[in-house]
């Protein structure tokens, strides 16, 4: 082959190779540009979808009132089948309005002894004396400001037999008030009551016990209305009300079987009850206070709430978790 032909042929091959390289490079660049453009479009689509999701979520939250600062904590949809509590303007002069306790008796008027009659070995006069002591004990332990506000148990203890008095006295003013909680009501310091008398509902019944014993069963609800900062923002009566149920068995003992120190009024083994719509922090120390702003939640559907105002309803689980 002629050297010129070989050179011309090599030159042609080199030109063709350069052309293919250029075309390949152009194709790679075009592919890169298409890929970049596709990635930009994908990012735009993802961003757009995220924006749509955020807008939809905001609209949903606005629809249910999550961002409504004027909406009270308890103003939300009730559980299926339940009735949401109705919101009211709370009147401090009539704090029990819109609750089942509104028509109950005021204070001691709600505690009535049963008609006196002979029960076992106890005459009608003995029964009247025993039930009168129990009524006085309930007033002194649950309604008297001396006990409620001043935490002074002297009047209540004076109504009990000397031996049981000695058992209970060390529980007051010593940090052991929680141990006496089933028998008395103590208002927490810093949680003043409104001037309205507590509302009371319940029953008392009598039966014969052992020799020289008259058993008096009491089952009462005591409802207290509180003042304070929470009351100014209350939208539900239960924001300022505390309810206590006390199922307490008292035993009146007399006769030669009992020593002098054991004769009189005792509390029995059958003691039960609960507190409702309370500050658990105060309750665990033995005192009563309404729920704080931090503790305020939906108090419960009206149909559920009403069971707590029923002295014949089953005793529920513990009011506050251990």
Examine the pLDDT at 226 and tell me if it is beyond 60. Answer: yes
Give residue 277's region: left, alpha or beta (phi > 0; psi -120 to 50).
left
Instruction: Compute, in degrees rounded to 10, the torsion defined by CA atoms 272, 276, 281, 283.
Output: -30
> Is residue 44 a part of any domain in this protein?
yes
Highest mean pLDDT among 10-19, 93-102, 126-135, 278-287: 126-135
Q: What is the pLDDT of residue 322?
A: 62
Q: What is the pLDDT of residue 233?
A: 57
Q: What is the mean pLDDT of residues 253-273?
A: 95
> Is residue 253 a part of any domain in this protein?
yes
Q: How far apart are CA 56 and CA 98, in angstroms?
A: 39
Indicate if 121 and 245 belong to the same structural domain. yes
Q: What is the mean pLDDT of residues 237-248?
A: 93
Instruction: Single out the residue of 213, 203, 210 nearest to residue 122, CA to CA.
Output: 213
Indicate if 189 and 296 belong to the same structural domain. yes
Of residues 87 and 256, the one with the higher pLDDT is: 256
Examine the pLDDT at 288 and tell me if it is beyond 90. Answer: yes
Q: What is the pLDDT of residue 316?
A: 76
> Is residue 260 a part of any domain in this protein?
yes
Q: What is the pLDDT of residue 6?
A: 35
Q: What is the pLDDT of residue 62?
A: 39
Indicate if 129 and 256 belong to the same structural domain. yes
The share of the chain scoring above pLDDT 70, in percent, equals: 65
Indicate if 182 and 58 belong to the same structural domain. no
Examine the pLDDT at 162 and tell me if it is beyond 60. Answer: yes
The structure tokens listed for 180 are: 């006496």
> Is residue 313 a part of any domain in this protein?
no
Q: Number of helices (H) and strands (E), helices first, in the chain?
A: 8, 5
> Is residue 108 a part of any domain in this protein?
yes
* Angle made by CA atoms 312, 315, 320, in degrees to the nearest 5: 140
Indicate if 158 and 25 belong to the same structural domain. no
First-to-last alpha carbon distance for the chain, in angstroms, is: 106
Indicate if 192 and 298 belong to the same structural domain. yes
Q: What is the mean pLDDT of the chain?
A: 77
Examine the pLDDT at 10 and tell me if it is beyond 80. Answer: no
Of residues 43 and 184, the one with the higher pLDDT is: 184
Number of folded domains in the chain? 2
> Is residue 73 a part of any domain in this protein?
no
Indicate if 111 and 57 belong to the same structural domain. no
pTM of the predicted model as reported, rounded to 2 decimal places: 0.71
Which of 67, 92, 113 corresponds to the end of one domain? 67
Indicate if 290 and 182 belong to the same structural domain. yes
**Residue 33 belongs to domain spanning:** 1-67
Q: How far apart are CA 180 and CA 169, in angstroms?
A: 10
Q: How far apart are CA 312 and CA 321, in angstroms?
A: 23
> Is residue 91 a part of any domain in this protein?
no
């Amino acid at each position: 082959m002629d050297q010129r032909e070989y050179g011309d042929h090599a030159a042609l091959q080199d030109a063709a190779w350069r052309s293919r390289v250029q075309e390949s490079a152009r194709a790679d660049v075009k592919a890169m540009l298409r890929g970049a453009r596709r990635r930009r479009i994908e990012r735009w689509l993802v961003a757009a979808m995220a924006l749509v999701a955020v807008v939809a979520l905001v609209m949903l939250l606005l629809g249910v009132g999550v961002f409504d600062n004027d909406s009270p904590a308890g103003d939300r949809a009730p559980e299926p089948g339940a009735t949401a509590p109705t919101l009211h303007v709370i009147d401090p002069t009539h704090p029990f309005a819109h609750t089942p306790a509104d028509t109950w008796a005021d204070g001691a008027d709600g505690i009535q002894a049963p008609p006196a009659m002979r029960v076992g070995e106890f005459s009608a006069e003995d029964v009247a004396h025993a039930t009168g002591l129990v009524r006085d004990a309930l007033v002194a332990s649950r309604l008297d400001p001396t006990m409620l506000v001043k935490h002074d148990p002297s009047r209540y203890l004076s109504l009990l037999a000397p031996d049981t008095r000695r058992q209970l006295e060390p529980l007051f003013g010593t940090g052991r008030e929680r141990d006496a909680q089933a028998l008395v009501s103590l208002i927490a310091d810093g949680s003043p009551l409104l001037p309205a008398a507590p509302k009371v509902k319940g029953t008392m019944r009598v039966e014969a016990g052992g020799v020289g014993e008259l058993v008096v069963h009491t089952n009462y609800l005591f409802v207290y209305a509180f003042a304070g900062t929470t009351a100014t923002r209350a939208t539900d009566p239960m924001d300022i009300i505390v309810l206590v149920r006390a199922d307490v068995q008292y035993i009146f003992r007399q006769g030669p079987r009992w020593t002098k120190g054991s004769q009189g009024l005792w509390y029995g083994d059958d003691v039960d009850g609960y507190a409702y719509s309370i500050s658990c922090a105060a309750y665990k120390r033995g005192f009563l206070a309404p729920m704080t702003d931090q503790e305020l939640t939906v108090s419960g559907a009206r149909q559920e709430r009403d069971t707590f105002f029923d002295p014949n309803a089953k005793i529920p689980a513990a009011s506050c978790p251990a």
